[in-house]
Amino acid sequence: MSRLGSVQRKVPCLFVTQVTEEPSAKRERQPFKVLATETINRKALDADIYNAIPTEKVDGTCCYVTTYKGQPYLWARLDRKPNKLSEKRFKRFLYSMEDSKEFIWNIEEDFRPVPECWIPAKEIQQSSGNPLPDENGHIPGWVPVEKNSKQYCWHSSVVNYEAEIALILKCHADDPGLLEICSVPLSDLLEQTLELIGTNINANPYGLGSKKHPVHLLVPHGAFEIKNPPMLKHSDILSWFESCREGKIEGIVWHCNDGHLIKLHRHHLGMCWPIPETFLNSQPVVIAVNGTKYDCDFEPKCLFNHFSKLNGQRFSRLKDIKFDV
C-alpha cells in the first residue's frame, strides 16, 4: 500500500500554542486548555509545511506494524511513564523552569516498568543507548498484540496472524468518493503506523458497530488526503472546519516531504469534538473481504468472517453496516 509519514514521535502543532487557565474540552480533569495562536510553528516551517500533503486526522488509537516472532505483527501504543515520585519532581521542575536548566532523568529508576517485549518508538531521541522522554516526560513505545489478548482485544480483532492479514479502511482505488473495507496482508503494512477506530475506541465518534456487535478497523496514517484544504491561516482553517463538508473531521495532519508530520486538532482552535455528523460517515463504503481466498478457518464470530459474508455489498455510510447474526 502507498504510504506517507508514520507516527514514531510526538507530532507538533501547526501553530505555536499557549496555555489558558480554563477546563480542557478534550481531557477530563485537565484544568487548562492548549490553544493555537496565529503564529506558525518554526518546526512546521522547517519541514516545508507549505508543500506538505494535508490528510484527515482520524480519531482512534495509534498502532504500528513490525516484525515479532519472525512474522508481521500489530503493535499497540504504550508510552513508558514516570513513577509517582519522578512525576512530582518533573512537574515541580516544569513550574519553576528556567531556560538555562535541563531536567535530568534516570531512565533506570524514574520510570514505571514495561513488558519485556516493549520497544521504544523509532524516532525518539536517545542517549547512551537509552530512549529519552519527550517534553511531557513520556517515552513513546509499542507492545505486540497477541492473538486473543484481553488487554488489547479490540486490536486483536482486526488482525489474523494465521492468514497474516489485517482489516483496513481506506479510499477505494478507482473511486475517490468511495470508502473500502478490505483485508490486506500484514506484510504490506510493515513499518507503517495506523489508527484503530471503532465501537470501543475513544467513545466511537464514527458510530461504528454496536455494543452487541462491535466493529473495529485500522486506518493507515495519511489514508484520507484532503482534496480542498484551507490556506495555512488561523482564520481560514477555523472557517473551513466550521463550514466545509470536508472539514467535518477531528483535525488535519500534514505529511511533509522530509517525513515530518505536523498536526492541528479542532481543540487547538477551541472547537468541539466529537461532532454529530462526520465527513468520514458521509461517504458510501464497499466491503472487499473475501474469506475464501485464505487457507484458514475464520472463527464464526470474528470480524473477518462477518465482513466476508458482506463481501461486495455497498452501504451508504459506515454506521449503516450491520452484521446478519
Q: What are the DSSP calls for 30-82, one per residue? A: ---EEEEEEEEPHHHHHTTGGGSEEEEE--SEEEEEEEETTEEEEEEE--B-B
Residue 230 within a domain: yes
Domain that holds residue 6: 1-58+224-272
Query: Which residues partner with 63 through β-bridges?
Result: 76, 194
In Å, how far from its chain's centre is CA 219? 8
Amino acid 187: pLDDT: 98
Residue linked to cell 472463527: 299
Amino acid 1: pLDDT: 36
Residue 183 within a domain: no
Residue 306 within a domain: no
Q: Other CB atoms closer than 10 Å to residue 71's CB: what's the count? A: 10
Q: What is the CA radius of gyration of the chain?
A: 21
Look up residue 300 and give its DSSP letter. T
Residue 92 within a domain: no
Amino acid 273: pLDDT: 97
Residue 126 within a domain: no
Q: How many domains is the chain partitioned into structurally?
A: 1
Residues 6+ apart with CB under 8 A from 82: 90, 105, 110, 111, 112, 133, 137, 138
Residues 6+ apart with CB under 8 A from 214: 154, 157, 198, 199, 200, 208
CA–CA separation, 256 and 44 (whole Å): 9
φ, ψ for residue 38 (rounded to 5)?
-95, 5
179 neighbors 283 (Cβ within 8 angstroms): yes
Nearest to 9 by CA among 139, 161, 129: 139
The grid coordinates listed for 151 are 488487554
CA–CA separation, 258 and 308 (whole Å): 39
Among the residues of the chain, which ranges form H helices?
A: 42-46, 84-95, 107-110, 153-156, 234-243, 303-309
Residue linked to cell 516544569: 94
User: In a structure prediction context, what are the per-residue pLDDT tens digits for the chain, which is 325 residues long?
Assistant: 344 667 777 899 999 999 876 765 665 556 667 899 999 999 999 999 999 999 999 999 999 999 999 999 999 999 999 999 988 888 888 777 555 467 888 888 999 999 999 999 998 988 888 898 988 889 999 999 999 999 999 999 999 999 999 999 999 999 989 999 999 999 999 999 999 999 999 999 999 999 999 999 999 999 999 999 999 999 999 999 999 999 999 999 999 999 999 999 999 999 999 999 999 999 999 999 999 999 889 999 999 999 999 999 999 999 999 997 6
Residue 162 within a domain: no
Residue 93 within a domain: no
Amino acid 278: pLDDT: 97
